[in-house]
A and B are shown apart, each in its own frame.
Chain A
């Protein structure tokens, strides 16, 4: 027994892990806002950003009380003095002799007003537009989305500069326009959510009486978009502050109102007289945009992540490995491949490892087709990938060996790489997704073959054309120059089988090779595999959940459940006299008339 798992944890791990890309989606289901807030408060960056933003708000509101002097107070003796130079002004004076520190404090008000304007305009337009487009769909959505794309495609600052002739030196108006220009970001978000909620709710909505369809959709949408809009707001505000400071820096702001960008522009034009003068306004603008970006990131982590997982603790892995018995000397020296006490798992996110394969033994001889049967999640595919050395990156091997002709490949990545293609080959489940869609079939087969067996291109081509004909492809020359999307699923599987046998391997690991195919094609592919075994004396491990396939083609069977092999038998005796209750269960469910 392993020391690192509980049965429930194992089931969880299997649900989440082996399917690459099927990680839990970024939803905040089942987590209250309390949890999100708590996570936010545990994130030092988030706390820092929040504290800084709060400070900016306080300074903006109370600027008249805090600032040492009025923004227009002039002391010519302080003109172009450096910050902290001991003069009357803490951060020095600008070229007109005004107090930079006071002006920055007063300018905070303009920044706050601009933030509110950008936020309100972009949220109202984005949310209303998204709701309408997502609800009415059809032409409304087409037009709205085209407009949104068009607006997104334009550099906002160029338009704002052009519109200066109309708006004049009014930052609030400019920021309202910027709010319109950035609204498409919110629009897209809301429209996508409306679409999702619509499709999820249509059936449910019909059951709920008393509430109109529209209200249900809107209520659900508003709940669903709250978190993403909040996250986006951080980035929108950061962009808004950057644009505002930029416009002011360009001299497009109101010169009679102090502004961060304006202070920066004045300091920059006096950069040779007072080089340090630019530092304070540059830092204020950068810190504020940074705070909003960090806030956005922190909100994203708190509201959408599934929690940060701890990396695997090396000591605990070592402990788990030590707890396993090392495989004894190989009792079957004439086996083609022998899996011995294979155990592997995945990080459980708390520093430990959840075991998904636990002490598996498996022997395959030359010319034998060995079925590996079990439900999805029983660990059979993980066992197969371990035999190929193609486990996902985060898999942890806890113990065992894969002995190929007596030599262990599991512990020797280099030997495993050399064995792949030449001695061990793989036939995958889903034919289409296992071909590179961007290059021709001939080219990808050639690249594979020449990697396994270096040979001239022409020789590879001749060899592959012969094999394609052998696996039942009528016009190999034509198929050679086709792209994967131009052939059928059955043909694609024959191409993949060609790729597997091209390097003349001794063992083929086939992972559900017929599951994704039409019933009529399934039998043909199984027959092909059997013929290839007969011709070449191949050993084969056939992973399947289908006992019909086992009965059709396999010589012996191992039944897997919960990461372990519960029964191993010759095919005929397994069907005649299953020993393990689980095998009997499997058999009876297969023979169930409703399934047949």
Chain B
């Protein structure tokens, strides 16, 4: 189990290094353009060149990358070209928004899709057909359009919930919850259908295995069989499903933050990419890759821990 975890950890680290390296080399590849973008189109060539030297953008991109890595090893992601603020500090102020949204959505997706998926697999019938429809709709309609529809109906039309904005949890828990209802709902519509349908598949796979028939032959009722044996068997594929959904969701969160004007990491990435504040953009990429890696790692390790063949190896 420890060997397994270490191997996964190494693989995750490699992913972080490769992806951040590739992204860095790509977005810092043209220093002059970045310098020009920070000054505006009307800036003179001299001014642009001076700016490039000032920001260190005149150095070869590999040198810049090595400097950046050095900074990362000392806990610094650089400073914003515009405000001079450390990137880590900027990320930290945005983190609570994105993490609240993501964690709530992941937990609700897991809960609802396990319930609905299991019921659909065990009972079948109309619930199963409804789930298939929901999965198609969820896959077909982009999340931000669901968000816009929610804003249009619930917020603008009925005026029930706030259409935009974010209230920190520490300021006003009620306001915090209200500001997250619609964003969470908008993402759930897309994520639950797919996750529940895949979870349903995982459950029916386990239900078809021989040992379930043998358990039935022992006189064990259907409910204990599902609760004690089948759910456990479906846990590993279920975790994989959930981790894939979470990663897919991260992309959607950027758009959702924009629709509801939530000051999260996605919003920060968007603002800074438009004015070529590349150190901050890079910081947002690092954050995203770290979330992806941690989610994958958690799913792998928990999945392996559930499987005695791996745990006891």
Contact = CB atoms under 8 A, between A and B. Distances in A.
A and B associate: yes
**In the complex, which of the residues A249, A388, A424 has the most CB atoms of chain B within 10 Å of its own CB atom?**
A249
A163 B229 CA distance: 47
A104 to B, nearest CB: 15
Contacts, number: 217
Interface stretch (A196-204, A206-214, A430-438): A430-438
Given A158-B266, A272-B156, A433-B210, A390 B288 contact: no
Interface stretch (B25-33, B63-71, B104-112, B174-182): B25-33
A158 B284 contact: yes
A250 B33 CA distance: 22
Nearest to A422: B219
A128 interface: no
A349 interface: no
Nearest to B29: A166
A390 B217 contact: yes
Contact of A162 (B140, B214, B228, B285): B285
Interface in B256-313: 258-259, 266, 269-270, 273-274, 276, 278, 281-282, 284-285, 288-289, 292-293, 296, 306-309, 312
A337 B214 CA distance: 20
A156 interface: yes
A228 B276 CA distance: 41
A438 B217 contact: no
Contact of A485 (B27, B149, B306, B308): B308
A290 B281 contact: no
Contacts of B152: 271, 275, 278-279
B214 A439 contact: no
Contact of B254 (A158, A418, A425, A485): A158
B84 interface: no
Nearest to B132: A297
Contact of B34 (A165, A242, A292, A502): A165
A292 B312 CA distance: 46
Given A421-B219, A438-B306, A428 B281 contact: no
Contact of B216 (A164, A238, A420, A438): A420
Contact of A417 (B19, B219, B250): B219
B250 A155 contact: yes
B258 A250 contact: yes
Nearest to A486: B312
Bin chain A's interface residue count: 35 or more
Nearest to B209: A433
B312 A420 contact: no
**In the complex, which of the residues B15, B23, B213, B270 has the most CB atoms of chain A within 10 Å of its own CB atom?**
B213
B210 A434 contact: yes
B218 interface: yes
Interface in B126-152: 136-137, 139-142, 144-145, 148-149, 151-152
A428 B214 contact: yes
Given A153-B247, A158-B254, A434 B214 contact: yes
Contacts of B95: none
B215 A436 contact: yes
Contacts of A101: none
A216 to B, nearest CB: 35
Contacts of B312: 483, 486
A158 B288 contact: yes
A294 B306 CA distance: 37
Nearest to A45: B136
Contacts of A448: 215, 218-220
B3 interface: no
A489 interface: no
A496 interface: yes
Contacts of B237: none
Contacts of B309: 437, 483, 485
Given A156-B251, A238-B140, A436 B229 contact: yes
A485 B213 CA distance: 19
B75 interface: no
A453 to B, nearest CB: 9
Contacts of A293: 136, 139-140
Nearest to B282: A162
B188 interface: no
Interface stretch (A30-38, A117-125, A183-191, A281-289): A281-289
Contacts of A258: none
Contact of B148 (A272, A278, A390, A433): A278
B153 to A, nearest CB: 9
A543 to B, nearest CB: 14
B198 to A, nearest CB: 14
Interface string B147-177: 0110110001100000100000000000000
Interface of B: 15, 18-19, 23, 26-27, 29-30, 33-34, 37, 136-137, 139-142, 144-145, 148-149, 151-152, 156-157, 163, 208-211, 213-221, 224, 228-229, 232-233, 247-248, 250-252, 254-255, 258-259, 266, 269-270, 273-274, 276, 278, 281-282, 284-285, 288-289, 292-293, 296, 306-309, 312
21 contacts: A154-B289, A154-B292, A157-B252, A162-B281, A163-B23, A165-B33, A166-B26, A250-B258, A264-B145, A282-B145, A286-B145, A290-B137, A290-B140, A290-B141, A419-B219, A421-B218, A428-B210, A439-B229, A444-B229, A451-B219, A486-B312
Interface of A: 20-21, 150, 153-159, 161-166, 235, 238, 242, 245-246, 249-252, 264, 268, 271-272, 275, 278-279, 282, 285-286, 289-290, 292-294, 297, 388, 390, 417-422, 424-426, 428, 430, 433-439, 444, 447-449, 451-452, 483, 485-486, 496, 499-500, 502-503
Given A158-B251, A164-B273, A271-B151, 8 more contacts: A155-B248, A246-B144, A250-B255, A264-B145, A418-B219, A421-B218, A436-B233, A447-B218
